């Protein structure tokens, strides 16, 4: 049975705007209206026939959707770009009527698994550092990796912004020691590229093959699919 009232932060999260925690900040800063009145009180109830507005536009509760894209190169991870560059949103624009947003980021030249949802709470959960969500990358570098560099990466070392600890690193078979699989939970900006640049390797290819246990297997580059119930349940258990 559908609920007939919600806490305001819950309503905002279910509309796909943001997570409940961030919704509280929107409320306290006076950016939310109910029936034309600015509401700043946390815990305010919203009834199903009320009109709720954010940034001058009415927002409504949406059914949660979860989608995986196998991101190609030359697309940036943003909702829209002021310079009219191609964005990942261009690739999923016809997926559904709900307003989806990417969970985390991949840079322009990185390919692979990128998840999308309108479930703000799950998105926040998957990108928060304390939850230590693992990502697996297939990395191609410009020359054979030296044994001492490989061992240093495996053991852990320091960059200018702190210690780098990888969960696992393996050399890909028959790759002449130029391709590796690296697993880590760090969400620091460009962390995989920075690891190899620190040891003076140029990253030729960077492909995220797994994020939070979700694989891009059977998803063609540039294409997407909705997650199945088992995958959604797996994400929510993390």
Q: Would you state the pLDDT for residue 69?
A: 98
Q: Would you state the pLDDT for residue 2?
A: 54
- Going from the N-terminus, what domains does the chain have, and what CATH number goes with each? 5-59 (3.10.290.10), 66-129+214-237 (3.30.70.580), 134-211 (3.30.2350.10)
Task: Work out the average pLDDT over 189-210.
Answer: 97
Per the CB < 8 A criterion, the answer to whether 166 and 188 are in contact is: no
Nearest to 54 by CA among 18, 102, 104: 18
Residue 141 CB burial class (10 angstroms; 0-12, 13-18, ≥19): buried
Nearest to 48 by CA among 10, 19, 97: 10
Task: Work out the average pLDDT over 14-35.
Answer: 93
For residue 48, name the pLDDT band (cuts at 50, 70, 90).
confident
* Tens-digit pLDDT profile for residues 151-193: 999 999 999 999 999 999 999 999 999 999 999 999 888 999 9
Per the CB < 8 A criterion, the answer to whether 17 and 23 are in contact is: yes
Strands 101-102 and 111-117, sheet pairing: antiparallel
Distance CA 172, CA 179 (A): 5
* Tens-digit pLDDT profile for residues 116-136: 999 988 999 999 989 999 999
- pLDDT higher than 70, residue 62: yes
Catalytic residue positions?
Answer: 107
Question: Helix H segments across 128-185?
Answer: 147-155
């Amino acid at each position: 049975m559908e609920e007939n009232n919600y806490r305001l932060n819950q309503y905002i999260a279910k509309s796909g705007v943001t997570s409940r925690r961030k919704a509280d900040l929107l409320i306290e800063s006076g950016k939310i209206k109910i029936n034309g009145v600015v509401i700043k009180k946390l815990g305010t109830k919203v009834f199903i026939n009320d009109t709720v507005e954010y940034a001058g536009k009415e927002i409504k509760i949406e059914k949660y959707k979860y989608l995986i894209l196998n991101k190609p190169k030359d697309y940036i991870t943003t909702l829209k770009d002021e310079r009219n560059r191609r964005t990942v949103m261009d690739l999923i624009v016809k997926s559904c009527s709900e307003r989806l947003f990417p969970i985390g980021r991949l840079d322009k030249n990185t390919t692979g698994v990128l998840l999308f949802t309108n479930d703000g709470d799950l998105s926040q959960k998957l990108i928060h550092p304390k939850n230590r969500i693992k990502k697996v990358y297939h990395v191609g570098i410009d020359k054979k990796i030296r044994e001492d560099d490989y061992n240093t990466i495996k053991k852990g070392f320091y960059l200018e912004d702190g210690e780098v600890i990888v969960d696992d690193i393996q050399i890909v078979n028959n790759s002449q020691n130029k391709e590796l699989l690296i697993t880590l939970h760090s969400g620091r900006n460009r962390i995989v590229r920075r690891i190899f640049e620190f040891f003076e390797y140029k990253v030729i290819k960077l492909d995220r093959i797994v994020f939070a246990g979700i694989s891009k297997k059977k998803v063609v580059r540039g294409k997407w699919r909705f997650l199945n119930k088992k995958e959604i349940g797996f994400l929510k258990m993390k």
